Amino acid sequence: EDQVTQSPEALRLQEGESSSLNCSYTVSGLRGLFWYRQDPGKGPEFLFTLYSAGEEKEKERLKATLTKKESFLHITAPKPEDSATYLCAVQAYSSASKIIFGSGTRLSIRP
Amino acid sequence: KAGVTQTPRYLIKTRGQQVTLSCSPISGHRSVSWYQQTPGQGLQFLFEYFSETQRNKGNFPGRFSGRQFSNSRSEMNVSTLELGDSALYLCASSLAQQTSGYTFGSGTRLTVV
């Protein structure tokens, strides 16, 4: 069964303190791995798609990486506005229209 | 470019009633997916429609149904509401079964009392 596990569940950082969020996945034929950001009361906002092991993508202070079993979202020198829940999701070739989401990591950045 | 529009934003219903939620995808997007988000279960896939056809369905009871119209707008219906149906219902649209990411609406917050 396709599965996504995110850790930690919550993370509190000081402004400027870099860290990483983890996403472990089990999927029968990975078509794509997504990272989303979700603010309270809003829908998820697309950040990245990764397709194959070794791939990396960057956007401002965020960098996503992918291996055959997990993905990391690295946050460099975060600011308070980076506070949000970060969601990881996978799409399998066997069921391409169904995206499986992890439970998310709630990130809080203190000024 | 308008995003994904969901209506209504908030809804309060009584147990046993039924409800219909609406989703207008981004212009040109033909795939519409629905998700239920709760604090305990996270985001769970309900179903996906493409060109008016349901292509995939999640593990939800038959009380949850949906449809898509020729203009790609979609509706989902929940009959015989239960307290546990209280959740944020999210709609996402894309051009097709693509891996470039789905665009989500802001959701409809349903409260069943």
Task: Kindly report, residue by residue over B33-52, the tens digit of the pLDDT.
Answer: 999 999 888 999 999 999 99
Contact B35, A89 (CB under 8 A): no
Average pLDDT, chain B: 93
Q: Mutating which of A30, A99, A105 best tests the B interface, going by the most B Cβ atoms within 10 A?
A: A99
Question: Chain B contact for A91, CB < 8 A?
Answer: yes
The mean pLDDT of A55-82, rounded to a whole number, is: 97
Residue B48: list chain A partners with CB under 8 A.
97-98
Give the pLDDT score at B34.
Answer: 96
The mean pLDDT of B56-76, rounded to a whole number, is: 95
Distance from CA of A34 to the nearest CA of B (A): 7
Give the pLDDT score at A99.
Answer: 87
Tell if the CB–CB gap between A49 and B104 is shorter than 8 Å: no
Q: Token pair for residue A46?
A: 């697309």
Give the pLDDT score at A98.
Answer: 81
Give the pLDDT score at B99.
Answer: 55
Choice between A32 and B99, residue whose per-residue pLDDT is larger: A32
Give the pLDDT score at A11.
Answer: 98
Q: Token pair for residue A99?
A: 């995206």
A35-40 long-range contacts, CB within 8 A, separation 24+: A35/A62, A35/A64, A35/A71, A35/A73, A35/A86, A35/A87, A35/A88, A35/A89, A36/A86, A36/A87, A36/A88, A36/A89, A36/B104, A37/A84, A37/A85, A37/A86, A37/A87, A38/A84, A38/A85, A38/A86, A38/A87, A38/A104, A39/A84, A39/A85
